[in-house]
Amino acid sequence: MKNKVWGGVAAGAAALVVVGGVFVAQTTRNNASAKDAITGTITVLTNRTDMQANGMLKKYAQEFEKKYPGTHVQWQTFVDTSTVQAQMNGGVYPDVMLVLPNITRDQLPTYFAPLDDLGLDNKIYLKDWDSYQGKVYGIPSFANVNGIVYNKAAFRKAGITQPPKTLNEFYQDCAKLKKAGIIPIEMNYTDKWPLSNWSNSLPDLIAKDANYMNTLVKSNAPFSTNTPEGQALAIARKIIENGWAEKDWKNTNWANSKVLLAKGKAAMMFLGNWAVPQIIADGAPSKDVGFFPFPASNDGKNVAIMGPDWCYAVNKHSKHIATAKAFVKWMLLDSGFANYAGGIPIIKGQKSNVPQLAEFQKLTWKTLTAVPDSDKLTKLENAAQIDITGGGATQTVLNAPSLQAAFKQLNQAWANAKSMLGY
């Protein structure tokens, strides 16, 4: 679609030049000045449907519009990235974007404008996450560590006095919680995206290697019981088979899940630190909400991996690029969004206001910095149609008649894609 969009623009420009070069030059200058002016209406993409419901998105828009008179911010929310991908394929998508997980680094210049002129390069963490050939195209909205968000009151009711430090202790606690009539851990199968932690985060934790996922391209059978990827998915499968997830686990609702955890009817969810304030907002006292690293092995040396949440980007075809860039910079520096969302601020010197992160850090043996997926991995995942980063792979494993049947299906698709790509 890129060639079609720009091909049309180029043909139109050539026709105008033939008619009169002076007019074209003047139009180009006018267009350039319009793009440089912080004015006009921009559409901003966000996954935070909850903040649309509680009015926070409207508040951010109003504050930005107050700082920059003549601007107007419209929000577009999404739950499933496929709807946004369809927009991008059609060449018409929001002015301020979130970088979708299936976009490879070499595609970044196709869709987005460079953000190096924001003057933030030396002020932010993970600045090279979405960069290509020395230019930054995406900046993280904030940073996360993934772990278990839990209800301390539910733990106490089940007779659990401290978070599990080993995988066996985690299993034992799940059994105790189930016996006490509490949902041990919510998987949120229907929403799919929460399942990405099992296929895309937990393998790194098991391997104690932030670059583990990129090594999958070397394997013809990464889904097996002797690999961190397979072991992670086997843990998810065991939770389902032992009845430690929601009773009707194929019909779940993210909004309801948060309420169940807040009320102590459920005990745990495997998510990032960003989930902590959402559980509190749904009624849990802050003192009853805890956060600990996933006990991925039985050695007690549990690691955490700090990586970015969604990354902001600017649509390179936007009619108001300057306004879109100003909004990204304002969200990072002035909005307070990172702390509202329970994230780790990406701006150096800004501090997190989530007290549960202190508990998490105390229980963590080592914190590693996340490594971006290589283009090779993303292309292989796309070609195999195995949704590791979005949670689809976990759904496949949970749905299959057996773990081995799931692994056979996934490995066959993986090997076929490797052969097709010549890897």
Per domain, the residue ranges of the chain are 37-141+311-355, 144-302+363-421
- List the one residue out of 101, 92, 25 whose CA is nearest residue 378: 101
Mean pLDDT estimate for the chain:
90
Which pLDDT band, with edges at 50, 70 and 90, does 102 fall under? confident
| Torsion angle in degrees (nearest 10) through CA of 161, 164, 168, 170 | 90
Architecture of domain 144-302+363-421: 3-Layer(aba) Sandwich (3.40)
pLDDT, tens only, 301-338? 999 999 999 999 999 999 999 999 999 999 999 999 99
pLDDT of residue 353: 87
pLDDT value at 164 more than 90: yes
**Distance (Å, rounded) from C-alpha 383 to C-alpha 339?**
37
pLDDT of residue 36: 73
Which pLDDT band, with edges at 50, 70 and 90, does 351 fall under? confident
Backbone φ and ψ of 148, nearest 5°:
-100, 115
Quote the tokens at residue 286.
């802050």
pLDDT of residue 35: 58
pLDDT, tens only, 197-212? 999 999 999 999 999 9
pLDDT of residue 12: 29
Question: Is residue 19 within 8 Å of residue 26, measured between CB atoms?
Answer: no
pLDDT, tens only, 61-79? 999 999 999 999 999 999 8
The verdict on pTM exceeding 0.85 is no
Out of 3.40.190.10, 3.40.50.1700, 2.40.50.100, 3.40.50.2300, the CATH code matching 37-141+311-355 is: 3.40.190.10
pLDDT value at 6 more than 90: no
pLDDT value at 46 more than 90: yes
% the chain with pLDDT above 90: 87
Question: Is residue 113 within 8 Å of residue 316, measured between CB atoms?
Answer: yes
Which pLDDT band, with edges at 50, 70 and 90, does 20 fall under? very low
